[in-house]
C-alpha cells in the first residue's frame, strides 16, 4: 500500500508539473513589470484548462499524500518524493525538448541511487 500511495503522489505531481508547463507555454512568459500585467496573466492562467488540471492534480496529490502519511512514517515516505526530480526533468526533455546534459544525467543517477539505498533501510 505504501508504494501505491507514493506512486499515486508521484504520478499526480508529475502530471501537474507537465501540464502547467504546457499551459504556460500557451500563455507565454509571465510579465513582471506591472501588477496589472501579473493579474491579467493570472486571470488567463485560471481559464486555461491545462493549468486548471495541473492545479487539480496538485490538490489530488496533496490528498493522496495525506493518506500516505496518515498510515506510514513520514521519514519512510518523504525521500521517495525526490524521484520527481528525476521523472519531471526526463519527461521535460522528451516532451518539451529541454536541454539534455551530463550534469542532469549524473544528478538523476545520484537521486535514484540515494532512494535505492534509503529503501534498503525500510522494514
Mean pLDDT of 30-52: 94
Q: What is the pLDDT of residue 120?
A: 80
Cell, residue 100: 539534455
Confidence of residue 75 (pLDDT cuts 50, 70, 90): confident
Question: Rounded to an integer, what is the distance from CA 76 to the centroid of its chain?
Answer: 19
**Residue 115 near residue 82 (C-beta atoms within 8 A):** yes
Cell, residue 4: 501505491
Angle between helix axes 84-96 and 102-120 (nearest 10 degrees) is: 150
Amino acid at each position: 500500500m505504501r508504494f501505491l500511495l507514493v506512486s499515486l503522489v508521484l504520478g499526480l505531481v508529475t502530471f501537474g508539473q507537465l501540464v502547467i508547463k504546457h499551459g504556460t507555454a500557451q500563455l507565454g512568459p509571465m510579465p513582471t513589470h506591472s501588477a496589472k500585467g501579473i493579474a491579467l496573466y493570472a486571470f488567463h492562467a485560471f481559464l486555461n484548462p491545462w493549468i486548471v488540471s495541473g492545479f487539480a492534480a496538485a490538490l489530488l496529490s496533496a490528498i493522496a499524500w495525506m493518506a500516505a502519511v496518515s498510515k506510514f512514517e513520514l521519514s519512510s515516505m518523504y525521500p521517495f518524493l525526490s524521484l520527481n526530480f528525476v521523472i519531471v526533468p526526463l519527461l521535460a526533455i522528451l516532451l518539451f525538448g529541454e536541454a539534455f546534459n551530463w550534469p542532469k544525467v549524473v544528478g538523476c543517477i545520484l537521486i535514484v541511487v540515494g532512494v535505492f539505498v534509503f529503501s534498503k533501510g525500510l522494514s
